[in-house]
Amino acid sequence: LGIDRDGGGAAMRQIIKQTKKAVADGRPIVIFAEGSRAHHGERPELQTGFAGIYKLLGLPLVPVALDSGLVSPRDTFVQKSGVITYAVQEEIEPGLGRDEVRDRVHAAINALND
């Protein structure tokens, strides 16, 4: 699902519509809550939209930690050859508050960042 980063409320309404359709069609949804790539070791704040989608859908969330910043840093389009490691983290149940889900996702997706 594409996101217009400059689209404001209209973009959020569009992504909610697309997300609901994907769920109805039985498709998995992947959200990069940081909103952009980061350098290895950085721990950027999460974008607020992911928590709204989590609350709206009422579905479990499975964070996945990536160390892709080692081969695909934020400030370049040049990809280095290498291995990207990922770790599927513990499922987060639906119904948590915005701050709690944000904190748990942030910790989980940064598990490979040390």
> Average pLDDT in the 62-79 region?
80
> Average pLDDT in the 89-110 region?
93
Q: Using CA atoms, how far apart are residues 58 and 69, in angstroms rounded to an integer?
A: 30
Confidence band for 1, pLDDT divided at 50, 70 and 90: low
**What confidence score (pLDDT) does residue 100 get?**
96
Angle at 66 between CA 24 and CA 29, to 5 degrees: 5
CA 91 to chain centre: 14
pLDDT of residue 67 exceeding 70: yes
**What confidence score (pLDDT) does residue 42 get?**
75
